[in-house]
Each structure stands twice: as structure tokens, then as C-alpha cells.
Structure 1
Amino acid sequence: MPNQSLRTNDCVDEVIEKYADMVYRLAFSRVKNKNDADDIFQEVFLRYIKKERDFETEEHRKAWLIRVTINCSNSFFSSAWSQKVVSIADTEPAPFEPSEELGLHELLMELPVKYRTVLHLFYYEDLPINEISRILKRKPATVKTQLMRARQMLKEKLKGDLYENIPCPAEINE
């Protein structure tokens, strides 16, 4: 039975426990609001539970969860609700402690969503450029360009030498 899918052997509670932080951090980094991130988190795992889907590997499951989180975030941005509601994101603290200083996290949250997404996947989830391009359905060159532009935006915002500690995507092996 080596070809048996991961779906038939997994426990939903274990999958949620393993990927909860990743899904929530990605949702929050995209929508910048705790309540909306909670909604997206729930929607992602509801889709996981409802979906009769076989995963070839654990990396495939992770990529699927990332893609669904991004899709749910995109649906949120295009909904009439999100276009009419005034965001209170500026008054809410981050629901998790990022590994960098809080000031850097706040600067990241000021970037456009397309840049926050690639930065999050690259630096927080440690995904290589090729995997990010596959998940986001963008060319690897586009992902590299977005990473470089995001890094440049952070450099301008920081106006210091903290940015020099952030590895440049061109310097990292894919």
C-alpha cells in the first residue's frame, strides 16, 4: 500500500495543529486584521475538511493550504463587505510575535499585498522561489522581481542598516 494517499491516513486535528500557525500568519499578513484573518483561517480548514482530496506528499498538502489561504484572502479583498468596511488594522496588535522586531513587522504590513505575500512565503515559510512561483501561479522571474522591489521598499522605509541583514533573493540558491 505505498500508493495510499495521505488524505486517507491523516487526522484532521493533527493537520490543523501542524499548519494552523502558517495559515493564520499568512492570512493576517494579507488582510492586516485579526477578525478577518480568523474568518479566512476557518474557511481554509473548512475547505480542507470538506474536500475529498488526495495529497501525494506533505509538501503538496502544505502548498494546497497556502494556495487556498491566498484564494480566500483574494475573495475577501473582492467582497463587497471588505470594500465598504473601515479597517481597524492600525489599532490592532499583531496576534503573534514575529521573529524580527515589531517595527519591522509594522513596516512589512505597510507594503502592498503582493509584496507582503512573496516576502511572507520566502522569509517566514522558507519556501524557495520556484515553489512560490508555482503556488502563486507567477513566473519565477516575477517572484524574484517582487522580492527585490519589496526589499527595496523596506530599505527606503528603514533608512538604516537593518535591511542589510535581510538576504537578497538573488544571493540565495533556489
Structure 2
Amino acid sequence: MATSTRTEEFVEHVLNEWGGLVYRLALSQTRSPHDADDVAQDVFLRLLHDATPFKDEEHLKAWLIRVTVNRCKELRRSAWKRRVDTMDETSPALANLEAPVQELVADEVWEAVRRLPDHLRLVVHLHYLEGYPVADVARLIGCNPNTVRTRLHRARKKLKLDLEKEAKHGTNAPESLPIAHEQC
């Protein structure tokens, strides 16, 4: 087993300061409270054993976001995830979430965001929920700022159409216009 390169106090500070961000981002990307728990745990275990010297809190926060996004991608690509059906998204684990996260998850806009393709959902989450400017989102996900702007535009357009469709029909719109997946 690898030895820890960080102090327990440091990891506890990071958990208290940025644990919510890591969990919300993981929940946004995985759409599962169980997977989000696993991803968040993995991220903090990686932090515990990682030797990256952080220049400041922003550098640490960016590292956490990058590792969370990468871990979510790894999970999606895993053989286990491809072969196993996930539990219903109305899992009882949602009842154990913090109140602000419960409100977010219960919101109809959040439901529409959850239906976005991964690449659109990620930029929406980082820009609107975490408050990162476009340039920072681009840096965090390794894309051109114009790509981020395009994704945000497409996400807003898709969300508008989905929410209008829901309002018109009075139901959730599980299927909506397909959007091509872009690579960075």
C-alpha cells in the first residue's frame, strides 16, 4: 500500500473546503449518488497520495476538478459500467444528500441539465453552478474558450427546447434533440 504524502489535517481542510464541489461535480457527471460517492472518495484518496506541490487554493481547486472529471470519465469507460445496469435514478440515497444538493437535484432545470450529453453538462456545471468564467472552464477541461462558449450556447438552446417541451406537454422530456459530441 502506498504511503501518504499529505497530512491528515491538510486532507481534512480540503474535504471541508472543497468536498461539496467535488461531490456536486461527480453527481453532475455520473448522475448517480452512489457513483458520485465513489468518485469523491477516489479523488480524495488520490490527493492523499499525490505529491503535487500546490501554489495556492485555486491551483488545488483546479487539480480537484480535473481529477474529478478524469475519474468520472474513467468510470464511464470501465468494463463494469458498460456491462452493469445502474440502479434507478430515484434511488433512496438521494434522501441522504445535504439540503442544498437535494433542492438542486429536485429542480426541473437540474433534471433537464442531467439529460444533457456529458460534454455539455460539464461546462454548464462548471460555469453556472461553480461560477467559473469561460476561460477558466476551458483551461480546466483542456479546450479552447470558443469551444466552451459553443457548448454553453448549445446547452442553453437544448435546455430551452427541453423545458419548453416539458411545459407544453406537462411531462419530463426524456428524449430531445441529439447534439453531436465534440472532442477537445
TM-score by length of 2: 0.78
How much identity, in percent, do the aligned residues show? Answer: 39
Report the residue type matching 1:145 in the other structure: T
Residue 11 of structure 2 corresponds to 12
Mapping 1:89-128, distance limit 5 Å: 89-92=88-91, 93=94, 95=97, 96-98=101-103, 102-128=107-133
**Aligned-pair CA distance for 1:100:** 8.7
| Cα distance between partner residues in 2 of 1:84 and 1:100 | 26
| Cα distance between partner residues in 2 of 1:100 and 1:140 | 28
| Cα distance between partner residues in 2 of 1:86 and 1:121 | 28
Which among 155, 158, 161 is matched to residue 153 of structure 1? 158
The reply on whether 1:56 has 2:61 as its aligned counterpart is no
| Cα distance between partner residues in 2 of 1:113 and 1:54 | 30
Residue 44 of structure 1 corresponds to 43
| Cα distance between partner residues in 2 of 1:112 and 1:100 | 17
CA deviation string 1:112-131 (max 9, x = no partner): 11111000000111001111
Residue 22 of structure 1 corresponds to 21
Unaligned runs of 5+ in 1: 1-6, 163-174
Residue 84 of structure 1 corresponds to 83
**Aligned-pair CA distance for 1:52:** 1.1
Greater shift in the superposed pair: 51-60 or 10-19: 10-19
* DSSP-derived class of the 1:91 partner: coil
TM-score by length of 1: 0.82
* Paired residues of 1:76 and 1:82 also in contact (CA < 8 A): yes
* DSSP-derived class of the 2:143 partner: coil
| Cα distance between partner residues in 1 of 2:52 and 2:79 | 30
CA deviation string 1:155-174 (max 9, x = no partner): 001118x9xxxxxxxxxxxx
* Paired residues of 2:76 and 2:82 also in contact (CA < 8 A): yes
Number of equivalent positions? 154
CA deviation string 1:118-145 (max 9, x = no partner): 0000011100111110110000000000
The reply on whether 1:138 has 2:143 as its aligned counterpart is yes
Unaligned runs of 5+ in 2: 1-5, 168-184
| Cα distance between partner residues in 2 of 1:155 and 1:14 | 39
Residue 75 of structure 1 corresponds to 74
